[in-house]
């Protein structure tokens, strides 16, 4: 069995192993990480040899930590990263390079249609009819997108939304409200086979699926990191939030989407969103206006160039072919946008 895990912002860990009568055998750990002393690599292998194949990544990490000599330095990886690589080997997880990735980047769409396209394209990936897809959104109108489980009345001021021409829609993933202005927002979705995140915890999958974005930001001079569970942050503040939805039909698929603030009208945002003190209490700030620090200021680049560089980073790492939404997919999405995502029944399902 073979498993790989690229540590977000770090190095690649590779594990090859066999399983015999429920125990790990012939364990070999490798990667492009740094480790001192050299012999500590053999200590890691020996710590995993004979371990119960049912142990979790933290339990495997504990075995490794107990076996390492005092003063061991692990740079670019950790004992838990090795445990995750083992779990991915046992789960027959796939790697980014196992797939022919497709890019979908079309003209502006309505908020409801964007919600529907996410559901339809991810279902197509689960069914095996579509390649794993990176979809970069263009917004046709301003919107507030609330999470699947959020209370509509608690999140959105209807008078403020109407005053600023904001359409309110609910997405299928959890998480918080997104304040959208077409020229000020960068949004993308990943529709990926479930096998890509096998062996990862729910929390680890977020950072794993966005590691390429951190690389793209670094190339633009922005030092960013994942702030658990689902924020991408810099020293200046939050710049993006992620959300996920798991589909179990077919072979299973994961919808992972991210909204990034290229620029933001903070006064308008606080007029539309009801952002309470409790929401801000764990963000290290007393003002909603200071929660988000836009990419425009941090990069100094036009929005289109930021998107181009992000796409270029993804293509350079994993390969990416230009694609499109098929006529059948679009027809299903348009129907879903009308019958589900534009309806009061769905939008106010949590009043």
Tell me: the pLDDT tens digits for 93-125? 999 999 999 999 999 999 999 999 999 999 999
How far is 173 from 175, CA to CA, in rounded Å?
7
Domain count, the chain: 2
Element (H, E) at 245: strand 237-247
Q: What is the pLDDT of residue 275?
A: 76
Residue 12 has pLDDT above 70, yes or no: yes
Q: Both 85 and 220 in a single domain?
A: no
Token digits of residue 351: 């009043």
Q: Which of 44-58, 167-181, 223-237, 251-265 has the lowest mean pLDDT?
A: 223-237
Token digits of residue 329: 């997919």
Q: Both 189 and 326 in a single domain?
A: yes
Q: Both 250 and 177 in a single domain?
A: yes
Task: Mark which of 49, 70, 90 sits at the end of a domain.
Answer: 90
Task: Mark which of 90, 118, 147 sits at the end of a domain.
Answer: 90
How far is 5 from 12, CA to CA, in rounded Å?
6
Strand partners, 238: 233, 292
CATH number at residue 25: 3.30.390.50
Residue 282 has pLDDT above 60, yes or no: no
Q: Both 144 and 48 in a single domain?
A: no
pTM of the model: 0.90
Confidence of residue 9 (pLDDT cuts 50, 70, 90): confident
Q: Both 184 and 232 in a single domain?
A: yes
Give the structural domain span for 304: 96-347
CATH number at residue 253: 3.30.930.10
How far is 154 from 168, CA to CA, in rounded Å?
13
Task: Mark which of 90, 125, 142 sits at the end of a domain.
Answer: 90
pLDDT digits (tens, 9 = 90+) for 48-76: 999 999 999 999 999 999 999 999 999 99
How far is 298 from 305, CA to CA, in rounded Å?
13
Q: Both 146 and 57 in a single domain?
A: no
Q: What is the pLDDT of residue 280?
A: 46
Confidence of residue 291 (pLDDT cuts 50, 70, 90): low
Q: Both 67 and 136 in a single domain?
A: no
Distances (CA, A) of 180 to 175, 215, 302: 15, 24, 17
């Amino acid at each position: 069995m073979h498993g790989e895990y690229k540590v977000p912002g770090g190095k690649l860990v590779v594990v090859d192993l066999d399983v015999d009568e429920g125990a790990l055998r012939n364990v070999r750990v490798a990667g492009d990480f740094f480790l001192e002393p050299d012999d500590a690599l053999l200590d890691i292998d020996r710590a995993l040899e004979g371990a119960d194949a049912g142990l979790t990544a933290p339990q495997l990490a504990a075995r490794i930590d107990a076996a390492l000599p005092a003063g061991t330095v692990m740079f670019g990886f950790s004992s838990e990263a090795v445990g995750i690589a083992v779990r991915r080997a046992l789960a027959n997880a796939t790697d980014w390079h196992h797939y022919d990735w497709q890019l979908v980047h079309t003209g502006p769409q309505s908020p409801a249609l964007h919600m529907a396209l996410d559901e339809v394209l991810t279902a197509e990936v689960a069914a095996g009819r579509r390649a794993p897809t990176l979809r970069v959104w263009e917004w046709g109108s301003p919107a507030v997108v609330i999470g699947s489980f959020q209370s509509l009345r608690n999140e959105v001021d209807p008078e403020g939304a109407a005053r600023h021409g904001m359409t309110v829609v609910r997405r299928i993933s959890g998480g918080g409200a997104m304040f959208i202005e077409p020229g000020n927002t960068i949004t993308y979705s990943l529709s990926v086979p479930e096998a890509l995140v096998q062996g990862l915890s729910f929390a680890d999958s977020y950072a794993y699926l966005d590691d390429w974005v951190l690389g793209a930001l670094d190339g633009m001079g922005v030092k960013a990191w994942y702030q658990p569970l689902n924020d991408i942050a810099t020293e200046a503040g939050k710049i993006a939030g992620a959300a996920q939805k798991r589909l179990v039909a077919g072979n299973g698929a994961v919808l992972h989407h991210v909204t990034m603030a290229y620029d933001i009208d903070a006064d308008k945002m606080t007029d539309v969103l009801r952002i309470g003190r409790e929401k801000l209490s764990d963000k290290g700030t007393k003002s909603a206006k200071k929660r988000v620090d836009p990419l425009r200021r941090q990069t100094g680049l036009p929005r289109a160039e930021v998107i181009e560089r992000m796409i270029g980073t993804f293509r350079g790492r994993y390969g990416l072919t230009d694609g499109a939404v098929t006529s059948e997919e679009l027809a299903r999405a348009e129907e879903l946008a009308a019958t589900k995502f534009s309806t009061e029944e769905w939008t106010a399902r949590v009043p």
